[in-house]
Structure 1
Amino acid sequence: MARRRNRNRHRRGRFGFLYKMLSVLAICGAIIAALTLFFRVDSIVITGEERYSEQEIVDATGLRIGDNLFLLNKYAIAEDLLKKLPYITAVRINRELPDTLTIDVTESAAALAAVQDGSAWLISPDGKIVEQRTPGDAGKLAELDGCRLLAPSVSTQIALETERADQQESLLALLAALDGADMLQNVQAIHLDDLTVLRMDYAERFTVELPYNANYPYKMRALQAILDSGRIESNETGTIRMTGSDGQNVFIKG
């Protein structure tokens, strides 16, 4: 009798565990069915767009009204936007229940033009190639010279030769500092031909010499302070040498 009771208890235990598992699976199935049936995209809201239209952005996502709100891959959508619409530099996607998807984009502008092999490659402040044009159609963008881009292609980051890694890193850091200080519009050219000194044509009056691997936000604040100090006459041109290890800056007329 004792053995039979133990067998019955064991059998009930196994059926109880199976019942719990089936219940969990049924609940999960119901949740998945509800998400699939009821949470569908009825509205796509685009914000932050300037260069591209809302329709261009929606088309680039591949989304359609009626797509499931929870099954879509936000990261894949963002990656597609960054590739297909190169002037977009950041994407943020949010689901707003029950049926709305919001896509907030951050767009950039071209900051530099690198002319190479019959093409002008337009480069954003964060180093992304945003457009390919003919050399005569680059507008008034600052020119990047003294280097060669490796396999340039729209929607990719610029790359220089391996031996110019310091120059590439310094260029990107300088662009970020200029952009952050709202000084990019005053740049006419950036020259990387000298492996010891980075040179920048600035304000149509000055050549600014900078060291590689410098604290460029600090250097740009120092440059602005020099220009605001009144020590340089408004009609003077020359070279502002900011390469001293002691932090001293020198203005050379001419």
Structure 2
Amino acid sequence: MGRKRIRRNYYKNSAAKRRNKIIRRLIFYIKTTAVVTALLVVSFLFIFSYDFITQCDYFRADRLVVTGENRLSEKQVLQQAQIKKGINIFSLNLSKTRKRLLAHSWIVEAEVSRELPSGINIRIQEHKPLAILDLGRKFIINTSGEIFKEMAASDPDHLPIISGLQFSDINVRGKPLSIPFKAVMNVMELGQKSESVLPYKQLKLIQVDREMGLTIYAFDRIKAIKIGYNNYPDKYAKLKNILLYLKKRRRFSHIESIDLNNLNRIVVNPMKRESPAGNHKEV
């Protein structure tokens, strides 16, 4: 007789597989639930801790330190930063506060930091105004020659005025200066040197003629000084000698203009005064 073939119990194997699958799913769900629960607990702890820290009186700012202000007052800086005494130092968003400060036209750089347990430090750097640029509308340029704001009634009006430039001459970072604008900046730079014959503080108006160059108005007794373009150090040296000569000779009390465009032919024009008879003559 042949051997009897043993039949497999497929029902039993299938039931075992289903049971193992259910167990694996159950373990997965338990692990997932545990992870989610742990995350919720941790998040709750973070939220609770954040609320506790940002509302804790221990971290309320009782010392606000502002440095670097010159044109602006400490009060104006704090108003721009939207910071008041008593604010919780951890509720303060440092990045947003810095952006608010930089939005002010006079502020070129700003840093905001916390100082535990109850201090906030603000350091700003203001633009240094150099001159008023008259383009039909008046703007203020800084020592880099960049426009940083439009002139307002509250802005300083003792700065020298630059007229005759065009919008195309405006200094753009990364691009070369136009010839007229570069000439103006050279005059400003020379004026800030010690013993300059045309000191920066005495400059009233710099008139730009795109063809003829610069004419400077600085002194009460000399109406105009024409220096054109280029060779400014040599022209300043000549001007110094002329002023010394006129001072010693005392020949002219007022000068209409000194033309230094051509160093080989310097022209000094005395101011004309009206005589009692109504005639004009050179003095």
> Hey, what's the Cα distance between the residues in 1 that align with 2:187 and 2:215?
11
Quote the RMSD (CA, aligned, Å): 4.2
- TM-score scaled to structure 2, two decimals? 0.54
* Correspondence for 2:266: 253
Shift of 1:121: 5.3
**Are 1:168 and 2:161 matched, yes or no?**
no
Match of 1:44 in 2: 64
Where do 1:134-153 residues align within 5 Å? 138-139=157-158, 141-147=159-165
Q: Does 1:234 align with 2:240?
A: yes
User: After the TM superposition, which residues 136-215 of structure 1 pair with which residues of structure 2 at under 5 Å, given as runs?
Assistant: 138-139=157-158, 141-147=159-165, 160=167, 164=168, 167-169=169-171, 170=177, 182=192, 184-185=200-201, 187-194=203-210, 199=214, 201=216, 207-209=227-229
For the 8 Å contact 2:134–2:164, the answer to whether it is kept is: no
Moved more, 11-20 or 175-184: 175-184
Q: Which has the larger radius of gyration?
A: 2
Query: Where does the alignment leave 5 or more consecutive residues of structure 1 unmatched?
Result: 149-159, 211-221, 242-249
**2:29 alignment counterpart:** 11
Q: Could you say if the C-alpha distance between residues 133 and 174 of structure 1 is closer, same or farther in structure 2, counting changes exceeding 3 Å?
A: farther
Aligned equivalent of 1:66, options 66, 82, 86: 86
Q: Quick check: 1:129 aligned with 2:131?
A: no
2:124 maps to which of 99, 105, 113:
105
Residue of structure 1 equivalent to 2:42:
24
Post-superposition CA distance 1:127-146 (Å, at most 9, x none): 22364349xx933x312111
Q: Write out per-residue CA displacement over residues 96-145 of structure 1, whole angstroms, 9 at most, x where no aligned residue.
A: 2332111112234542234577x8655443422364349xx933x31211
Per chain length, whose mean CA-contact separation is higher, i.e. which structure has more relative contact order (CA < 8 Å, sep 6+)? 1
> What secondary structure sits across from 1:234 in the alignment?
helix
Shift of 1:200: 6.2
C-alpha separation in 1, matches of 2:72 and 2:120:
18
DSSP-derived class of the 2:147 partner:
coil
1:235/1:70 CA distance change after superposition, 3 Å: same
CA distance in 2, matches of 1:251, 1:12: 98
Looking at structure 2, the residues matched to 198 and 78 of structure 1 have their Cα atoms a distance apart, in angstroms, of 42
Distance 1:201 1:65, change over 3 A: same
Between 184-193 and 38-47, report the one with greater CA deviation.
Answer: 184-193
Q: Are the counterparts in 1 of residues 164 and 208 from structure 2 also a CA contact under 8 Å?
A: yes
Are the aligned partners of 1:122 and 1:132 in contact in 2 as well (CA < 8 Å)? no
Matched, 1:54 2:56: no
Please tell me whether residue 94 in structure 1 is matched to residue 113 in structure 2. yes
Shift of 1:45: 0.5
Say if 2:184 and 2:206, in contact at 8 Å, map to a contact too: no
* Paired-residue identity, %: 17
Contact 1:122 1:133 in 2 (8 A): no
Query: Can you list the C-alpha shifts for 1:81-109, whole angstroms capped at 9, x where unaligned?
Result: 4566x544432222223321111122345
